[in-house]
Each structure stands twice: as structure tokens, then as C-alpha cells.
Amino acid sequence: DVQMTQSPSYLAASPGESVSISCKASKSINTYLAWYQEKPGKTSNLLIYSGSTLQSGTPSRFSGSGSGTDFTLTIRSLEPEDFAVYYCQQHNEYPLTFGSGTKLEIK
């Protein structure tokens, strides 16, 4: 199985700041990496797939980069609604696997 190591597990930032979340795969997954946002009381939201392709409706302040084993989610100029939990997921092969999550909180 492809192990996904996500860091940090917790991140505190202020609105307007930029943050980055890392996701590392235990072997190459090409560019097949997705990012999700999870908020209490709401359905999980696909933000990015194939490493850097924004899902329809994802604000342009979100960006994804990377290939092979190292990937990054960057959120520029944080908005209040961005404070949530973020997960990465490799979509290169079965079994599909997720990172352990990053909780982004308001500083």
C-alpha cells in the first residue's frame, strides 16, 4: 500500500496569511494526488486533483504542486472560511490511501 505522510498535523495562522501543507507518498504516484477540505456539519469538499488541477468552484487562492512523492497544498491570503481540516489522497492505485489530516486553525 502507498503510505501518505501529511504534515504538519496542526497549523495556526491568521486571516490574510499564506500557508502550505505537505504530503509525501511512500513511492511515486506520478501526479495523482487529491486534496480535500473537511468542515463540521458540511460534506467533504474536493479542492484539487491530479496534483494541481482545481476542482470546479475551488477558489484560485488554493494551489497544488508536486509530482512523484512530494506534494504541497498552498492557500494564499487565508479567508475565514478556510479554517478546516485538510486531507491528501493518492489516486494512482488501489488501495486508495489518505494522509492523516492537517487541522488549520485561526491564530
102 touches other proteins (CB under 8 A): no
Strands (E), 1-107: 4-7, 10-13, 19-25, 33-38, 45-49, 53-54, 62-67, 70-75, 85-90, 97-98, 102-106
7 touches other proteins (CB under 8 A): no
Distance CA 70, CA 81 (A): 27
Minimum separation from the CB atom of position 64 to other proteins (A): 12
The nearer residue to other proteins, 11 or 96, going by C-beta atoms, is 96
87 touches other proteins (CB under 8 A): yes
36 touches other proteins (CB under 8 A): yes
94 touches other proteins (CB under 8 A): yes
**Cell 496542526, residue?**
10
The nearer residue to other proteins, 24 or 91, going by C-beta atoms, is 91
Give yes or no for a contact between 34 and 9, defined as CB atoms under 8 angstroms apart: no
3-state SS assignment for residue 82: helix
Q: Which of 100, 105, 106, 107 binds other proteins (CB under 8 A)?
A: 100
The nearer residue to other proteins, 16 or 40, going by C-beta atoms, is 40
